[in-house]
Structure 1
Amino acid sequence: MSAQPVNPNLPPDHVTVFIDGVEMAAPKGSMIIQAADKAGVPIPRFCYHEKLPIAANCRMCLVDTEVGGRAAPKPSPACATPVMDGMKVFTRNEKALKAQRNVMEFLLINHPLDCPVCDQGGECELQDLSLGYGRSVNRFVERKRAVADEDLGPLVASEMTRCIHCTRCIRVTAEIAGTYELGGMYRGENLQIGTYDGKPLTTELSGNVIDVCPVGALTNKVFRFKARPWELTARPSLGYHDALGSNLFHHVRRGDLLRSVPRDNEAVNECWLSDRDRYAHEGLAAADRASVPLIRDGEGFREASWEEALAMASQILRDNAGDALGVLAHPATSNEEGALLARMASGLGSGNLDHRIGQLDLSDGAAAEAFGMPVAEIESADAIIIVGSNVRHEVPLLHQRIRKAFKKGAKIHVVNPVDFDFTFSIASKAIVPPSQLAAALAGVDVGDAGNIAVIVGGVAENGPHAAAIRKAAADFAAARNARLCRIPQGANALGLSRLGVLPTARDAQSMLREPRKAYVIYGIEPGLDFADQQLALKALGGAQVVAFSQFACQSTRAVADVILPIGALPEIDATLTNLDGIQQQAVAAGKLPGLAHSGWRVLRALGGDLALPGFEFTDLAGLRAGLAPKAVQVAKGAPASMAGNGLEVAASAAIYRVDAVIRRCDALQAHPLTTGPRAALNPADAAALGLAEGVMAKCATAAGTATLQVALDPRVAPGSVWVESGYGATAPLLAAAKLEVARA
Structure 2
Amino acid sequence: MSAQPTGTAPDLINIEVDGKPTQIRKGAMIIEAADAIGVSIPRFCYHRKLPIAANCRMCLVDVEMGGKLMPKPQPACATPVAEGMKVMTRSDKALKFQKDVMEFLLINHPLDCPVCDQGGECELQDVALGYGRSVSRFTERKRAVADENIGPLVATEMTRCIHCTRCVRFTSEIAGTYELGGMNRSEDLQIGTYIGKTIETELSGNIIDVCPVGALTNKPFQFKARAWELIAKPSIGYHDALGSNLWLHVRRGEVMRTVPRDNEAVNECWLSDRDRYSHQGMYAGDRIGKPEIKRNGQWQVVGWEEALEFAGEALKKAPGSELGMLVHPASSNEEGDLLMRLARGLGSAHVDHRLRQLDFADNAVARPFGLPVAEVGQIRAALLVGSDLRHEMPLLNHRVHQASKKGARIYAINPARFDFNYKLAGEAIVAPSALVDALLTLARAAVAAGAPAPAALADAIAAAAGDDAGNDTIAALKSGPAVVILGEAAVTHPQASWLRAIARFIADATGAGYDELPVGANAVGLARLRVVPGNGGLDAQAMLAQPRKSYVLYGVEPPHDFADGAAALNALRAAEQVVAFSAYASPALREVADVILPIALLPESEATLVNVDGLAQGVAAGAKAPGEARPGWKVLRALGGALQLAGFEFDDLAGLREGIAGRAVSERQGLAARVTTGGLSRLATWPIYRMDAVLRRATALNAHPLNRAPAARMNAAEATRQGLAAGDTVRVVEALLPLVIDAAVPDGAVWIEAAHDLTATLPPYGASITLSKA
Q: 1:446 aligns with which of 474, 479, 490?
A: 474
1:131-169 Cα distance to aligned partner (Å, 9 max, x none): 000001100000000000000110000000000100011
CA–CA distance in structure 1, aligned partners of residues 699 and 676 of structure 2: 38
- Following TM superposition, by how much is the alpha carbon of 1:713 offset from its aligned partner in structure 2, in angstroms? 1.2
2:59 alignment counterpart: 61
The aligned amino acid for 1:430 is A
Give SS of 2:588's match. helix
The answer as to 2:759 corresponding to 1:730 is yes
Q: 1:613 aligns with which of 626, 637, 646?
A: 646
Q: 1:362 aligns with which of 344, 351, 360?
A: 360
- Following TM superposition, by how much is the alpha carbon of 1:421 offset from its aligned partner in structure 2, in angstroms? 0.5
1:76-112 Cα distance to aligned partner (Å, 9 max, x none): 0000000011111000010100010000000000000
Q: 1:566 aligns with which of 584, 591, 599?
A: 599
1:23-63 Cα distance to aligned partner (Å, 9 max, x none): 11111111000011111111000000000000001000000
1:47 alignment counterpart: 45
CA–CA distance in structure 2, aligned partners of residues 595 and 28 of structure 1: 59
CA–CA distance in structure 1, aligned partners of residues 430 and 747 of structure 2: 7
Q: 1:697 aligns with which of 711, 730, 751?
A: 730
1:364-414 Cα distance to aligned partner (Å, 9 max, x none): 100001110001101111110000011100111111110011011111000
1:658 alignment counterpart: 691
The aligned amino acid for 1:487 is L
CA–CA distance in structure 1, aligned partners of residues 117 and 58 of structure 2: 23
Distance 1:641 1:253, change over 3 A: farther
CA–CA distance in structure 2, aligned partners of residues 644 and 165 of structure 1: 56
Distance 1:736 1:446, change over 3 A: closer
The answer as to 2:241 corresponding to 1:212 is no
Is the Cα–Cα contact under 8 Å of residues 327 and 553 in structure 2 kept in the other structure?
A: yes
What are the equivalent positions in structure 2 for 1:281-430 lying under 5 Å apart? 281-430=279-428
- Following TM superposition, by how much is the alpha carbon of 1:322 offset from its aligned partner in structure 2, in angstroms? 1.7
Is the Cα–Cα contact under 8 Å of residues 497 and 670 in structure 2 kept in the other structure?
A: no
- TM-score for both structures, normalised by structure 1: 0.97
Distance 1:595 1:134, change over 3 A: same
Distance 1:641 1:742, change over 3 A: farther
- Following TM superposition, by how much is the alpha carbon of 1:446 offset from its aligned partner in structure 2, in angstroms? 3.0
The aligned amino acid for 2:179 is E
What are the equivalent positions in structure 2 for 1:119-518 lying under 5 Å apart? 119-442=117-440, 443=442, 444=470, 445-447=473-475, 448-504=478-534, 505-518=537-550
CA–CA distance in structure 2, aligned partners of residues 67 and 709 of structure 1: 69
The answer as to 2:522 corresponding to 1:524 is no
Is the Cα–Cα contact under 8 Å of residues 417 and 717 in structure 1 kept in the other structure?
A: yes
Is the Cα–Cα contact under 8 Å of residues 384 and 455 in structure 1 kept in the other structure?
A: yes
Kindly tell me the number of residue pairs found equivalent between the two proteins.
734
- Following TM superposition, by how much is the alpha carbon of 1:646 offset from its aligned partner in structure 2, in angstroms? 1.8
Is the Cα–Cα contact under 8 Å of residues 52 and 171 in structure 1 kept in the other structure?
A: yes
The aligned amino acid for 1:446 is I
- Following TM superposition, by how much is the alpha carbon of 1:438 offset from its aligned partner in structure 2, in angstroms? 2.4
- TM-score for both structures, normalised by structure 2: 0.93
CA–CA distance in structure 2, aligned partners of residues 692 and 585 of structure 1: 52
Q: 2:738 aligns with which of 698, 709, 717?
A: 709
1:3 alignment counterpart: none
- Following TM superposition, by how much is the alpha carbon of 1:479 offset from its aligned partner in structure 2, in angstroms? 1.6
Give SS of 2:407's match. coil
Distance 1:101 1:8, change over 3 A: farther
What are the equivalent positions in structure 2 for 1:3-82 lying under 5 Å apart? 9-82=7-80
Is the Cα–Cα contact under 8 Å of residues 643 and 738 in structure 1 kept in the other structure?
A: no
Q: 1:549 aligns with which of 582, 595, 598?
A: 582
Question: RMSD of aligned C-alpha atoms?
Answer: 1.5
Distance 1:643 1:565, change over 3 A: farther
Is the Cα–Cα contact under 8 Å of residues 705 and 733 in structure 1 kept in the other structure?
A: no
CA–CA distance in structure 2, aligned partners of residues 316 and 297 of structure 1: 13
Give SS of 2:684's match. strand
Give SS of 2:359's match. coil
Is the Cα–Cα contact under 8 Å of residues 185 and 194 in structure 1 kept in the other structure?
A: yes
The aligned amino acid for 2:590 is R
1:441-485 Cα distance to aligned partner (Å, 9 max, x none): 242323142222000011111121211111111111122122110
2:460 alignment counterpart: none
2:445 alignment counterpart: none
Is the Cα–Cα contact under 8 Å of residues 61 and 88 in structure 2 kept in the other structure?
A: yes
How much identity, in percent, do the aligned residues show?
A: 58
Distance 1:696 1:413, change over 3 A: same
- Following TM superposition, by how much is the alpha carbon of 1:645 offset from its aligned partner in structure 2, in angstroms? 3.9
CA–CA distance in structure 2, aligned partners of residues 140 and 734 of structure 1: 66
> Which is further off, 675-684 or 145-154?
675-684
1:591-624 Cα distance to aligned partner (Å, 9 max, x none): 1111110000000000111111111111111111
CA–CA distance in structure 2, aligned partners of residues 640 and 603 of structure 1: 39
Is the Cα–Cα contact under 8 Å of residues 235 and 252 in structure 1 kept in the other structure?
A: yes
Give SS of 1:340's match. helix
Distance 1:205 1:428, change over 3 A: same
CA–CA distance in structure 2, aligned partners of residues 742 and 178 of structure 1: 39
CA–CA distance in structure 1, aligned partners of residues 199 and 425 of structure 2: 27
Is the Cα–Cα contact under 8 Å of residues 684 and 765 in structure 2 kept in the other structure?
A: no
Give SS of 1:200's match. coil
Distance 1:137 1:529, change over 3 A: same
Give SS of 2:694's match. helix
> Which is further off, 81-90 or 320-329?
320-329
Distance 1:303 1:344, change over 3 A: same
Distance 1:446 1:270, change over 3 A: same
Distance 1:402 1:635, change over 3 A: closer
The aligned amino acid for 1:358 is R
CA–CA distance in structure 2, aligned partners of residues 300 and 494 of structure 1: 39
> Which is further off, 537-546 or 313-322?
313-322
Distance 1:330 1:635, change over 3 A: farther
Give SS of 1:380's match. coil
Is the Cα–Cα contact under 8 Å of residues 173 and 181 in structure 1 kept in the other structure?
A: yes
1:564-601 Cα distance to aligned partner (Å, 9 max, x none): 00001111111110111111122211211111100000
- Following TM superposition, by how much is the alpha carbon of 1:654 offset from its aligned partner in structure 2, in angstroms? 0.6
Is the Cα–Cα contact under 8 Å of residues 645 and 739 in structure 1 kept in the other structure?
A: no
Distance 1:412 1:203, change over 3 A: same
Distance 1:609 1:634, change over 3 A: farther
CA–CA distance in structure 1, aligned partners of residues 512 and 672 of structure 2: 28
- Following TM superposition, by how much is the alpha carbon of 1:634 offset from its aligned partner in structure 2, in angstroms? 6.4
- Following TM superposition, by how much is the alpha carbon of 1:512 offset from its aligned partner in structure 2, in angstroms? 0.8
Distance 1:294 1:164, change over 3 A: same
The aligned amino acid for 2:731 is K
CA–CA distance in structure 2, aligned partners of residues 635 and 166 of structure 1: 56
CA–CA distance in structure 2, aligned partners of residues 696 and 433 of structure 1: 23
The aligned amino acid for 1:428 is G
- Give unmatched runs, 5+ long, in structure 2: 443-469
Is the Cα–Cα contact under 8 Å of residues 153 and 201 in structure 1 kept in the other structure?
A: yes
2:449 alignment counterpart: none
The aligned amino acid for 2:637 is R
Distance 1:613 1:632, change over 3 A: farther
